[in-house]
Amino acid sequence: MNSLVLQKTAIDRDLTAKYAIPSLPSRLLPQQKPARLRRKGPVFWAMLALLVLAADFLLALLAWLAVDLVMK
C-alpha cells in the first residue's frame, strides 16, 4: 500500500515538473493592492437607521392590525 502511494506521488511530481507553466514576469501581471474596507460615511448609517425604523414601524402596524382583527 505504501509503495503504491509513493509511486503515485513520484509520478505526480514528474508530471508536474514536465508540464509546469512558466510564471509570467511580475511586470506583466497587474499589481494587486490588498483589499481594504472602505469607510462608510454617516449618510450610509443614517439611511440604514431609517430603514430599520421603517421596518420596525411596519411590523408594529401589522401587529396592531392583527390584534385588532382578532379582538373584534
- The reported pLDDT for the residue numbered 40 is 75
Q: What is the pLDDT of residue 60?
A: 98
What percent of the chain has a predicted confidence (pLDDT) above 90?
39
- Is pTM beyond 0.75? Reply is no
Question: Is 11 domain-assigned?
Answer: no
- In a domain, residue 61? The reply is yes
pLDDT at residue 39 in the model = 73
What is the count of structural domains for the chain?
1
Exposure string over 34-53, b if 16+ CB within 10 A, otherwise e: eeeeeeeeeeeeeeeeeeee
pLDDT tens for each residue of 15-47: 566 666 655 555 555 666 666 666 778 899 999
Cα dist from 42 to 33, 45, 51, 56, 64, whole Å: 26, 5, 14, 21, 33
- Tell me if 7 is assigned to some domain: no
Range of the domain at 69: 40-72
